Structure 1
Amino acid sequence: MISLIRAEPQLHTPMHFFLSVLAIVDSGFSTANTPGLLGGLLASSQSVSFAGCVVPMALMTRHGTAECLILAVVAYDRLAALCRPLLYGSLSSPRLCVQLVAATYTASVASSALLTGSVSSLPYCGPNIIHHYFCDIPPVLQLACGDRARAEAVIFPPAALILLCTITFTLVSYGFILVTICRMRSLEAQSKALSTCTSHLALICLFYGTTTFMYTQPSSRSSTEQNKVVSVFYTVIIPMLNPLIYSLRNKDVKAALKNRCLGLLPS
């Protein structure tokens, strides 16, 4: 998707620019822990060093925060395109698009530094077994032998704030979009737009539902098995579905992909 959007001139639009950024974030999100997870399943030893645990945790936190923010930016772009088409050029100018992406990465790096720094600064004196598929903040917190309450007070409110603000903005934006779609006179246009928006909303609700479950509750051993299952959705399944839902359901992307594939075939 990234290569296709960069190579095809007709895809050089704000919407596809944001979709390419979303694809980059998804790639980083899914590869932050999945290779290590697969390697641990294949290797006889599944031990990991403290640094080898903190670094993937920081990367996943950064990409997860960026995912929330980019989804909100995509919702903003669709809101501007459908609800304010005459002002779309100024509401999604190239300069503003770059600024939004830069702000997203800055906020995600700051959030990752705060959350990961709070976790890594705690004393760990045993046990040293993580009851999870990878080094995530909630299961690692369970291993701390110091006062976890202070760290949780630093970690969970910012995480909850990011999730609450982004999901509220995203859902409100799609609410306005759905209202605009319902006012369309063409039933065929309504059907196509509603199909795309409902797919987006289903994916958004699945992502925010799983991440909210993981990062807005204090650590608890009773929810360990549930957390394992939930983590698979937002680290593997959702990043895999995002390109299919956001890009391959787009007629411009499908046309560009068809032209690119036909161009590669021998004459």
Structure 2
Amino acid sequence: MEERVISNWTSAAQNQTLVTEFLLTGLSNNPQTQLVLFVVFLVAYLLTLAGNLIIMVTIVHDRGLHTPMYFFLSNLSLIDICHSTVTVPKMLADFLSTEKTISFGGCVAQMFFLHLFTCTEIFLLTVMAYDRYVAICNPMHYLTVMNHKVCLILTGTIWLGGTVHSLALTGMTIKLPYCGPRKVDNFFCDVPPVIKLACTNTYVIEILIVSNSGLISVVCFVVLVVSYGVILVSLRNHFAEGQRKALSTCAAHLTVVTLFLGHCIFIYSRPSTSFAEDKIVSVFFTAVTPLLNPIIYTLRNEDMKRALHKLFGQKVNAEK
């Protein structure tokens, strides 16, 4: 259904635009540099896929990890795989191409799925903070409050919220007429650089984007910081071992939140004005953060490390 909606919107938009494809500026035009970047980002992408898939398989395999926290973590890994796949494969292909083009429909699809997974991940990180808050501040009622049904409802809600957000943002973007410049100043299609190419005044759209994406990012970031502030205060009453474990989990989560929401606030909390740092921040957002999440959550999490040792230990023994 989502693909049909995008197709209908694309057809309607192309009726009022002369642009059938866009040119992406990419990260570099130097052949040698592009080859090096291709190798670097190919390795990073493969590690992203492998790391997040391992987390998902480990959580499914180990019954000790069948808890709300790891249920949400497996969802985070799934979103990270989807999020990086929206932009990185196209970027890799462009490193080997002389002309970095993307069709109008492909550009629309990239914007839609990029914002779908981005917004869903923001909501998921907020839900994960709430999960930690209940687990640490109200441990006696944790499994009652965060039961299986509640987890499923929360997950469905965040995906629905991400879809509505993305449809609204993409819809505003493709209704604009595009009849002149077609060079997108980035290595993927995103709303801010694309609407700059519209042959009409986009000030109102830019304000709506800031009030939509920017506000979501800022509000969720504030909620997350306040939540973890409350959690840290409540940790003073825990025993040393439990306190250390909870602090480790919260530190991992805060690291992910800072890396991810930092980009969103930087890009979407201002009108469509280009900065030299935009591409660097976008690279970190699309290619680096999805790779860091598995590392952060496995290296700082004793339960995950135990489950990984158990899983791979069983495979080694089975092969023997």
Is contact 2:248–2:300 with CA below 8 Å preserved after alignment? no
Is contact 1:118–1:155 with CA below 8 Å preserved after alignment? no
Instruction: Kindly report which structure 2 residues correspond to 1:204-223, keeping only aligned pairs within 5 A, or say none.
Output: 204-221=257-274, 223=275
Consecutive aligned runs of 4 or more in structure 1 exceeding 6 Å deviation: none
Superposition CA RMSD, Å: 1.5
Deviation at 1:37, TM superposition (A): 0.7
The one-character-per-residue Cα deviations of 1:166-196 (angstroms, maximum 9, x if unpaired) are: 112211111111112233342x543443344
> What is the CA–CA distance in structure 2 between the aligned matches of 1:146 and 1:120, rounded to whole Å?
12
Counterpart in 2 of 1:86? 140
Structure 1: where are the runs of 5+ without partners? none
> What is the CA–CA distance in structure 1 between the aligned matches of 2:127 and 2:187, rounded to whole Å?
30
Deviation at 1:114, TM superposition (A): 0.4
1:126 aligned onto 2:180: yes
Aligned counterpart for 2:308 among listed residues 248, 257, 261:
257
Is contact 2:214–2:264 with CA below 8 Å preserved after alignment? no
> What is the CA–CA distance in structure 2 between the aligned matches of 1:251 and 1:185, rounded to whole Å?
17
CA distance 1:179–1:250, change in 2 (3 Å): same
Is contact 1:19–1:247 with CA below 8 Å preserved after alignment? no
Q: TM-score, normalised by structure 1?
A: 0.94
Q: Point out the more displaced range, 139-148 or 93-102.
A: 139-148
Q: TM-score, normalised by structure 2?
A: 0.79
Deviation at 1:153, TM superposition (A): 2.9
Report how many aligned residue pairs link the two structures: 264
Amino acid at match of 1:124: Y
Is contact 2:207–2:271 with CA below 8 Å preserved after alignment? no
Amino acid at match of 1:22: L
Q: Point out the more displaced range, 64-73 or 202-211.
A: 202-211
Instruction: Kindly report which structure 2 residues correspond to 1:1-267, keeping only aligned pairs within 5 A, or say none.
Output: 1-186=55-240, 188-221=241-274, 223=275, 225-265=276-316, 266-267=319-320
> What is the CA–CA distance in structure 2 between the aligned matches of 1:162 and 1:212, rounded to whole Å?
9
Fraction of identical pairs, as percent: 39
The one-character-per-residue Cα deviations of 1:61-104 (angstroms, maximum 9, x if unpaired) are: 00000110010011111111111001101211100000000000
> What is the CA–CA distance in structure 2 between the aligned matches of 1:239 and 1:177, rounded to whole Å?
25
Amino acid at match of 2:261: Y
Amino acid at match of 1:235: T
> What is the CA–CA distance in structure 2 between the aligned matches of 1:54 and 1:207, rounded to whole Å?
23
> What is the CA–CA distance in structure 2 between the aligned matches of 1:190 and 1:6, rounded to whole Å?
27
Is contact 2:177–2:198 with CA below 8 Å preserved after alignment? yes
